């Protein structure tokens, strides 16, 4: 018996639904799909930037959820686990579409002279071109490709924070890292994306010497 009317009307928690799915309750699975399909699609779309691929990645993520829910540790936060499942599905699909190897982030960090000054100051401000919607979309597409090239430790942090705009504590929990480690990776990943965007915006002839 429910203790009171409020509890009887309350939405089931994620953990309630997880336990329902584990016990074969189809309704619990349906509710989980209703609750999270938009967020999973959103992150998949960001990685793949194609509606059809994002939909298929979303389907695969929920199939994995359905099949692997038995491996979920109920002492952990469900969505952190599922977010990682979905992110892996999206990146796995992206790799199949465009195989590649992760870049070394150190190759794309800003360079400094021996006295600590910026080695090659940017002569033009490429960010003004972002005011043009078409150019901004092209650059954003490139930024997405650059992120996909990153090692997962950096890729996932910048994706969750800057694209998905997840809370710092949720990201740290999902990735099982400390807040200082998260901030350090985020900053380095942003420096990397900024550097690569600067280089493609100026063209190879004007690219900073690396």
Partner 1 sequence: MTDWTCRQVILDLLGEYEDGTMAAPERADFERHIEMCPPCVRFLTSYRATGKMLKSLKPEEIPSDLAQSVLAFVRARARKP
Q: Where along the sequence are the contacts to partner 1 (CB under 8 A)?
A: 29-30, 33-34, 37-38, 41-42, 45-46, 49, 51, 54-55, 58-59, 62-63, 66-67, 109-110, 112, 115-118, 121-122, 125-127, 130, 136-137, 139-140, 143-144, 147, 158, 162-165, 183-184, 186-187, 190-191, 193-194, 197-198
- The CA-atom distances, in angstroms, between 191 and each of 12, 42, 164, 186, 201 are 42, 24, 18, 9, 15
Nearer to partner 1, 74 or 122 (CB): 122
Q: Where are the beta strands (DSSP E) in the chain?
A: none
C-alpha to C-alpha distance for 109 and 107, rounded to whole angstroms: 6
To partner 1, the closest distance from the beta carbon of 49 in angstroms equals 7
Beta bridge partner(s), residue 112? 118
Closest distance between partner 1 and the C-beta of residue 19, in Å? Answer: 18
What whole-number distance in Å separates Cα of residue 137 and Cα of residue 150? 20
Name the 3-class secondary structure at 186: helix
Q: Smallest gap, in angstroms, from Cβ of residue 16 to partner 1? A: 19
**Cβ 99 to partner 1 shortest distance, Å:** 21
Q: From CA 104, how far away is CA 88, in angstroms rounded? A: 20
Residue number with CB closer to partner 1 (99 or 121): 121
- For the bound state, the minimum distance from the C-beta of residue 2 to partner 1, rounded and expressed in Å, comes to 27
As measured in angstroms, the least distance from the Cβ of 97 to partner 1 is 16
Largest CA distance in the chain: 73
Query: Other CB atoms closer than 10 Å to residue 152's CB: what's the count?
Result: 13
For the chain, where are the alpha helices, taking DSSP H only?
5-9, 14-22, 26-48, 51-68, 78-97, 133-149, 152-158, 168-175, 179-202
* 3/133 with CB nearer partner 1: 133
Closest to partner 1 by CB, 5 or 27 = 27
């Amino acid at each position: 018996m429910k203790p009171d009317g409020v509890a009887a009307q309350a939405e089931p928690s994620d953990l309630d639904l997880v336990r329902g799915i584990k016990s074969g309750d189809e309704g619990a699975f349906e509710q989980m799909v209703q609750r999270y399909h938009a967020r999973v699609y959103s992150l998949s779309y960001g990685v793949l930037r194609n509606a059809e691929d994002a939909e298929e990645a979303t389907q695969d993520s929920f199939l994995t959820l359905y099949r692997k829910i038995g491996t979920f540790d109920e002492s952990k936060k469900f969505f952190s686990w599922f977010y990682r499942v979905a992110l892996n599905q999206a990146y796995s699909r992206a790799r199949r579409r465009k195989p590649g190897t992760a870049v070394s982030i150190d190759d794309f960090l800003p360079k400094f002279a021996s006295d600590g000054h910026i080695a090659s100051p940017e002569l033009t401000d490429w960010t003004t071109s972002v005011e043009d919607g078409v150019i901004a979309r092209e650059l954003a597409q490139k930024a997405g490709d650059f992120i996909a090239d990153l090692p997962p430790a950096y890729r996932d942090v910048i994706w969750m924070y800057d694209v998905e705009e997840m809370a710092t504590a949720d990201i740290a929990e999902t990735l099982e890292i400390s807040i200082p480690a998260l901030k350090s990776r985020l900053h380095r990943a942003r420096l990397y994306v900024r550097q690569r965007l600067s280089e493609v915006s100026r063209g190879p002839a004007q690219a900073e010497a690396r």
